[in-house]
Chain A
Amino acid sequence: MSQWVEACAVDDVEEEDLIRFDHDGRTFAIYRSPDDEFYATDGLCTHEHVHLADGLVMDHIIECPKHNGRFDYRTGEAKGAPVCVNLRTYPVKVEAGRVLIDLS
């Protein structure tokens, strides 16, 4: 069963950037890639559970603001020390200028 939730408007996220989205006691990160695609992951780094929203997006990589751990936000794959555990990702769709993520 899909559970689509509206996260933000398309224009809320700049290109090659991310924003934080909180919903129902959980926190997520919504990304807009340089090629204008949207992605969503859990919001907290798997290393020390710092929110990724203060981090830097370069291309398809999010760098944690705390200790520079890196993930590919399209797949959640951990890409560099100190992170060893992948990020969970969520399906995303864009409808009528709104970004929706599937929390199921």
Chain B
Amino acid sequence: MGGMVIVGAGECGVRAAFTLREEGYEGTVTLVGEEPHLPYERPPLSKNAPPAVKLIAEETRYRDLSIDLLRGTRGQRIDRENRRLVLADGRTLDYDRLLIATGARARRFAGMEKARTLRSVGDADAILSAIGAGTKLVIIGGGFIGLELAATARGLGAEVTVLEAADRLMARAVPAEIAAMFEDRHRQEGVRLRLGAKVEALEEHAVVLADGSRIEADIVVAGIGAEPITGLAADAGLAVDNGIVVDGCLRTADSSIFAAGDCCSFPYRGAPVRLESWRCAQDQGAHAARAMLGCGDSFVRVPWFWSDQYDLGLQVAGLALADRPFLRREVGDGAFVLFQLDGQGRVLSASGVGTGNAVARDISIAEKLIERGIVVAPEVLCDPGTRLKQLLKG
């Protein structure tokens, strides 16, 4: 008689395990983690030096909840017919329900073998221990990870160059107006930003660009996105298309197997989406747990992202569409939020930036406006005198 097996002990898998217990499930819960450490939070890895491991929960919590945490091993193969997960170390786990929460791995490209990537605590240790005053650090990629690392490294006194292939920073997730604010700030802080930079080759102590320029580097880190870890599902004959394909309940075509977090592609407002989002991993872990127990609800939580660079706090709720205008709302002290409305006037996305947590309340309210599909007039949103919270009260 199998129980619940969760493969992947990151944010998503751990929250799933906890939720199974919170929901009253009394059978066995087994959580399989590839890393030797207790499950830890990844977001601090790019933001803090030296890296301090922040555990998701203390070891006693797993014991108290009777969660069997298997560390240092991974799922090797799914025997769907017998509902059995075979582990890399040869052990087997029978399951009633299986959750694949294997996350994503840092993307690499041919020829970048000399570059490091930042995904695990081991990666962070290796990178940050090699950085000090005067270290020449070259970061390939001007997304969240690269820019957070740039800010952290400047704090350590490193000479930092960020190479971004696009014509602006954070192009995937952040409106241009906000990206420009971060660009200015990084330049003020002494980061050398090269936009439209195409990497040609990595040498022993330099990065060579397509325009022929050579940038000296003691250490090169690539932050060029992540790719979902889907092999376990693909080998088992489950559909994979930019992530393990799941329905609204986060279930695969096999009714005993679920997938959630960075590794899955799920329907969001009618289109398949894969998110690399800490909060989404948490939310989907919890949702998948309830689905494994028979709940048929669809996952509808609005995406939410954040980034901290220097003392600037960025928060984004919803997914911005490239073809919708932004409406600017001043929050005070230079902080602002950019809203988007859909064709019916419903709030679609909100992206805010300010010192510290200046935009947190507005973004949190925006998230709820998006979730509830509330229609708001543009002039109301843009009026600093509008109490956004009142919009939730109807």
The answer to the question of A50 belonging to the interface, with a C-beta cut-off of 8 Å to chain B, is yes
Which of B282, B283, B357, B368 has the most chain A CB atoms inside 10 A of its CB? B357
The answer to the question of B358 belonging to the interface, with a C-beta cut-off of 8 Å to chain A, is yes
Minimum CB–CB distance for A58 against chain B, Å: 8
Q: Report yes or no: A56 in contact with B41, Cβ–Cβ below 8 A.
A: no
Q: Which residue of A16, A50, A65, A82 contacts B41 across the interface (Cβ within 8 Å)?
A: A82
Q: Report yes or no: B279 in contact with A56, Cβ–Cβ below 8 A.
A: no
Over the window 51-86 of chain A, the binary record of Cβ atoms lying under 8 Å from chain B Cβ atoms (1 yes, 0 no) is 000111010000101111000000000000110100
Q: Report yes or no: A56 in contact with B365, Cβ–Cβ below 8 A.
A: yes
| A-B contacts at CB below 8 angstroms, number | 43
Q: Report yes or no: B56 in contact with A54, Cβ–Cβ below 8 A.
A: no
Q: Report yes or no: B357 in contact with A66, Cβ–Cβ below 8 A.
A: yes
Q: Report yes or no: A82 in contact with B361, Cβ–Cβ below 8 A.
A: no
Give the CA-CA distance A67 to B41 in the complex, in Å: 12
Q: Which residue of A48, A55, A58, A82 contacts B360 across the interface (Cβ within 8 Å)?
A: A55
Query: What does DSSP make chain B's interface, helix, strand, loop or mixed?
Result: helix
Q: Report yes or no: A81 in contact with B365, Cβ–Cβ below 8 A.
A: no
Give the CA-CA distance A28 to B306 in the complex, in Å: 25
Q: Report yes or no: A54 in contact with B360, Cβ–Cβ below 8 A.
A: yes
The answer to the question of B310 belonging to the interface, with a C-beta cut-off of 8 Å to chain A, is no
Q: Report yes or no: B286 in contact with A54, Cβ–Cβ below 8 A.
A: no
Within 8 A of A (CB), among B264-282: 278-279, 282
Interface residues contributed by chain B, number (CB under 8 Å): 23
The answer to the question of B72 belonging to the interface, with a C-beta cut-off of 8 Å to chain A, is no
Q: Report yes or no: B357 in contact with A82, Cβ–Cβ below 8 A.
A: no
Q: Which residues of A contact B360 (CB under 8 A)?
A: 54-56, 65-66
Known: A56-B364, A56-B365. A67 touches B358 (CB 8 A): no
Q: Which residues of A contact B364 (CB under 8 A)?
A: 55-56, 63, 65, 68
Q: Which residues of B contact A54 (CB under 8 A)?
A: 356-358, 360-361
Over the window 341-370 of chain B, the binary record of Cβ atoms lying under 8 Å from chain A Cβ atoms (1 yes, 0 no) is 000000000000000111011001100100
Q: Which residues of B contact A55 (CB under 8 A)?
A: 357, 360-361, 364
Q: Which residue of B61, B278, B286, B304 contacts A84 across the interface (Cβ within 8 Å)?
A: B61
Q: Which residue of B286, B304, B361 contacts A65 across the interface (Cβ within 8 Å)?
A: B361
The answer to the question of B181 belonging to the interface, with a C-beta cut-off of 8 Å to chain A, is no
Within 8 A of A (CB), among B258-300: 278-279, 282-283, 286
Give the CA-CA distance A48 to B357 in the complex, in Å: 13
Q: Show 17 residue pairs from A and B whose CB-CB distance is below 8 angstroms, ordered by the A residue.
A: A50-B357, A54-B361, A55-B357, A55-B360, A56-B360, A56-B361, A56-B365, A56-B389, A63-B364, A65-B357, A65-B360, A65-B361, A66-B357, A67-B278, A81-B15, A81-B283, A84-B57
If A54-B356, A56-B389 are given as contacts, then 19 extra A-B residue pairs at C-beta distance below 8 Å, sorted by A number, are A16-B389, A50-B357, A55-B357, A55-B360, A55-B361, A58-B392, A63-B364, A65-B357, A65-B360, A65-B361, A65-B364, A66-B360, A68-B304, A68-B364, A81-B15, A82-B41, A82-B56, A84-B56, A84-B57
